[in-house]
Copies of this chain bind each other. A is one copy, B any other.
Amino acid sequence: MRFFSDNAATVHPEVIAALAAANQADAAYDNDRWSRQLDGRLAELFGTACEVLWVPSGTAANCLALGALCPPWGGVICHRDAHIQNDEAGAPEFYTHGAKLMLADGPGAKLTPAAIAAVADAQANDVHRVQPHAVSITNATEYGLSYRADEVAAVGELCRARGWGLHMDGARFANAVAFTGEAPADLTWRAGVDALSFGFIKNGGMTAELLVFFTPGLADETRRRRKRAGLLLSKGRFLAAQVLAMLDGELWLASARAANASAAALADAAGARLIHPVEANELFLRVSPDEAAALRAKGFDFYDWAAGEIRLVTAWDTDAGHVAALAAAIRALNSSPGRGGGPPASRPVVEGVLD
């Protein structure tokens, strides 16, 4: 019973069907009839004109966005636990040609204007020090928290005031929208987001994510960067088709709601063991090594996050029976959590693949 990662989940049958349906000869790269629909479809969803590029990975979406928002000699402020800092193997530095990630703090990997400003204000504005040019926030965060629109807007206001770009890593954007009920527009461009990495792969897609530019002037150069990075797939219609299938009938939202619901059921069972509020499809629990072993003995697979802590992830296809079984197993554990106190102050030692 898999609660290890939403990357391990299956692809939604509608997406598979869409691939078969797209198997017709058409123009190469992104000149086909599927790719050409994307701008329009996302404009509908967000209620504003936007320019949309498909890419085959979230790392690609994030780092193309950072390259568009920050010059090689600049810096990007992000959370100390951000995926771009810890889990992308230096891709931000590769795509920006060596820009610096400037690390801010905040509970649950969520950033506030104060935390961001503190990082920026510690750098004297002289030629010897890297200056911030952009902020990147993750929604839902690496600890499964969802930003409310006003929280994003507060960050966006700071960015506007300082002349910085604002990127949102939305690998689990669908989960955040589903949890908060906020309008996609309110969480993004109305709040000052210039570029959104809109994730589909964890949510039932196969190999397609979107990079959505709300701010004009960034997409054209990014199309060149995308090609230059080997990310412009020649049969791109099969990426566009995946996304269109997910957008049809709000499949993306239904899938996220399903994943969130499973997480909520587990959260209910976990109670005081929860390290962070559960606002998407991830749970972080205080569980002693013995307890973890007991859960594994019952057939549950999950991630050892840190000493005395585990991570559970649900997906669009998580089996309801598995959820019920895991909830029961968690309730059956001795109720005293294996580890007291709040979240760890710094990124812990981990032993496997995080995504």
Contacts and interface: CB of A to CB of B under 8 A. Distances in A.
Contacts of A355: 28-29, 128, 234
Interface in A115-160: 121-122, 124, 126-131
Contacts of A26: 8
A233 B57 contact: yes
Contact of A88 (B57, B62, B75, B128): B128
Contact of A94 (B62, B98, B124, B347): B98
A278 to B, nearest CB: 22
Interface string A207-233: 100000000000001011111111111
Most B-side CB within 10 Å, residue of A2, A58, A97, A234:
A234
Contacts of A350: 124
A348 to B, nearest CB: 7
A254 interface: no
A109 interface: no
Contact of A229 (B9, B11, B94): B94
A231 B99 contact: no
Contact of A234 (B25, B57, B63, B221): B57
Interface stretch (A16-24, A39-47, A182-190, A324-332): A16-24
Contact of A73 (B2, B73, B224, B351): B224
A253 interface: no
A89 interface: yes
A59 B236 CA distance: 14
A164 to B, nearest CB: 16
Nearest to A29: B353
Interface string A1-38: 01001011111010010011001111111010000000
B11 A25 contact: no
Given A8-B28, A72-B97, A235-B206, A228 B122 contact: no
Number of identical protomers: 4
Interface residues of A, number: 87
Contact of A10 (B24, B87, B348): B24
A238 interface: yes
A349 interface: yes
A62 B229 CA distance: 11
A207 B22 CA distance: 13
Contact of A91 (B16, B29, B229): B229
A126 to B, nearest CB: 6
Nearest to A171: B234
Given A8-B27, A93-B98, A234 B128 contact: no
Nearest to A199: B234
Contact of A348 (B13, B25, B122, B130): B122
B56 A73 contact: no
Contact of A230 (B91, B347, B352): B91
Given A8-B28, A94-B229, 15 more contacts: A10-B23, A10-B24, A72-B90, A73-B94, A73-B225, A87-B128, A88-B128, A88-B227, A88-B228, A94-B98, A97-B97, A124-B349, A124-B350, A127-B226, A230-B231
15 contacts: A7-B235, A25-B317, A29-B353, A29-B355, A56-B230, A64-B230, A72-B93, A73-B89, A87-B129, A93-B99, A94-B228, A97-B97, A128-B353, A128-B354, A201-B235
